[in-house]
A and B are shown apart, each in its own frame.
Chain A
C-alpha cells in the first residue's frame, strides 16, 4: 500500500502535505468531495503541527477495510502538547492566529478522528476518510 511521509517545518510544507494527500486520495479512489474534505482537514492539521507543535511530520497512507478504501493520515509533533483536548476541539477556541476551526473543523471533515496529547508530550492526531 502506498505510503508517504512529509516533514512539516514551514508554510510551504503545509502546501506539500495538501498535494501529497490529494495524490494519495486520488490513488485510493476517493470522490472529488471526499478528496477535498480530507485535503482541507490535512491543511488545518498540518498548520496546527507547524504553529502549535513547532513542526513535525505527517504520514499518509491508503487503508483498506473489507471492500472500502480510504486515506489515513497521522500528524505527529513534539511540541508543548494540549492540556484540555475537549476545549481545543470546540469551535471558536484558538490559541493562535486561526479562526478557531482547526481541530473541530478537521474532525467534522473526517470519518475517523483520534487525538493523543498531554502537556510536554507532544501531540499525535490520526484522521481517516473513507470512500
Chain B
C-alpha cells in the first residue's frame, strides 16, 4: 500500500498531502507520524493540506487525532494551507477542529512552530534561570 512521505526538517516533521486520501491511507499516516515523532524526538509537526480539494469528517478527525497524539508526545502540530472552499465546507459540516493550530502556508506554519517552541523554552522558571 502506498504511504504519505514524512520529511524531517530540524526539530520538525513535514508532511505534504498531495493525493486524494482514502480512509486507510489517512489511518496509515496517523500511525506513521506517531512512530516518527517518537523515533526522532520531533518537537513540531507541520501538515500541508493545500493540495487537498476536500476534507470530510474522517480526514478532519484524523487531523484532530494527530494533533492530540502529538501533544501527548510533546510536539506541536500546525495544519497549513487549507483552501477557502474546504474551510467553508468543514464549518458547515460542523467540524471546527478546536485543538488544531492553523497557518496560511508552510512558511508561516514553520515560523509558528519555531515561535511556539521558543515561547516554551522561555517558561517562567527557565526565564528566571536564563536571566540570572
Contacts and interface: CB of A to CB of B under 8 A. Distances in A.
The reply, when asked whether chain A contacts chain B directly with Cβ atoms under 8 A, is: yes
Interface of A: 11-12, 14-15, 18-19, 22, 32-33, 35-37, 39-40, 43-44, 47, 91, 98-99, 101-102, 104-105, 108-109
Secondary structure type dominating chain A contacts? helix
Contacts of B123: none
A43 B89 contact: no
B20 A15 contact: yes
Given A36-B53, A36-B89, A99-B95, 6 more contacts: A33-B88, A39-B54, A44-B56, A99-B57, A104-B94, A105-B93
Given A32-B85, A99-B95, A43 B24 contact: no
Interface in B50-95: 53-58, 60-61, 84-86, 88-89, 92-95
Contacts of A98: 57-58, 61
Interface residues of B, number: 22
Secondary structure type dominating chain B contacts? helix
Interface of B: 20-24, 53-58, 60-61, 84-86, 88-89, 92-95
A40 B89 CA distance: 8
Nearest to A106: B93
Contact of B53 (A11, A22, A102): A22
Contact of A39 (B53, B57, B92): B53
B57 A18 contact: no
Nearest to B20: A15
Of residues B53, B56, B85, B89, which shows the largest number of chain A Cβ atoms within 10 Å of its Cβ? B56
B92 A108 contact: yes
A11 B24 contact: yes
Nearest to B56: A43
